[in-house]
Amino acid sequence: APTTAWDPTPADGAKYINAASVVLAWQMGDVDNTANNVSYDVYWGTDEATVAADTTPDAHVTDPTRTIGPLLNDTDYYWKVNTVLTLKGPPFTQTIIPGDVWQFKTKPFIAIGDATRIGLWTFDEEGAGNLVVDWSGYGNDGTIIGGALRVPGRNEDAENAIDLSGGGQSVAITMTGGVPTVNPSEVSVAMWARPDITTGQQMMWYTYETSGYGKVRCRINGGNWLFTSGQGATGNNIDATGPAVV
């Protein structure tokens, strides 16, 4: 490991970072923390040159993390961590190890265009890593799980789909944006999918409440699309069989 602070979170060059609150984190460099107390001077701002000059730290911390915000939307931010080593005994000499300048960009402001549309995931965010942005305005962003990859979807000209080709792969979305509870009897869903099976069962997506039972589900069942709205394992399901999978 280097002597400088390393392994930044958000990663250098990250995009679509939530501007409301950002947790900056890093790994301690390969330094002598037996003879020295280790602390950090943290700098951040929208001007790269100012951050690089590290004149006055924005914060001095003893743990390798600092929460900042709220920040501006759709804005490039730069940050830097200098490692401060202070001898534990006389003469208590300080040594500063300058860090690299890292950069991230915050997510643009997304207005709620349709109050009844509680989620809109297009999967086409360039440079977003495992983040899936909710473009509905409710802020219900998702996370790509299990190493699933972005691939060309319906348009065949952009990475605007997720290839779920292995066990444990999914896009996990926690509805935290203050949206109303979905009424299983009054819900509309639009999606594009290209399954690779025509027999058996394969879950495409589902919602669930704290009980863990699926409330709204879409899956392939016996070669047909099956849409289910109801109480999951407790019964009272309404099934609507769609067209055959081709």
What pLDDT does 209 receive?
A: 63
Terminal-residue alpha carbon distance, the chain? 52
Tell me the C-alpha to C-alpha distance, in Å, between residue 204 and each of 65, 90, 98, 139, 155: 38, 65, 49, 22, 20
Section 153-173 average pLDDT: 83
Contact 122, 92 (CB under 8 A): no
What is the model's pTM?
A: 0.80
- pLDDT tens digits, one per residue of 203-226: 777 776 655 555 677 777 777 777
What pLDDT does 17 receive?
A: 95
State residue 51 phi and psi, 5-degree precision. -65, -40
C-alpha to C-alpha distance for 32 and 36, rounded to whole angstroms: 6
Task: Considering only CA atoms, give the Rg of the chain.
Answer: 24
- pLDDT tens digits, one per residue of 22-77: 999 999 999 999 999 999 999 999 999 999 999 899 999 999 999 999 999 999 99
Q: Which two tokens stand for residue 36?
A: 């020295």
C-alpha to C-alpha distance for 190 and 65, rounded to whole angstroms: 41
What pLDDT does 177 receive?
A: 63
Q: Which two tokens stand for residue 52?
A: 């690089």
Section 156-184 average pLDDT: 75
> Residue 216: beta bridge partners?
207, 229
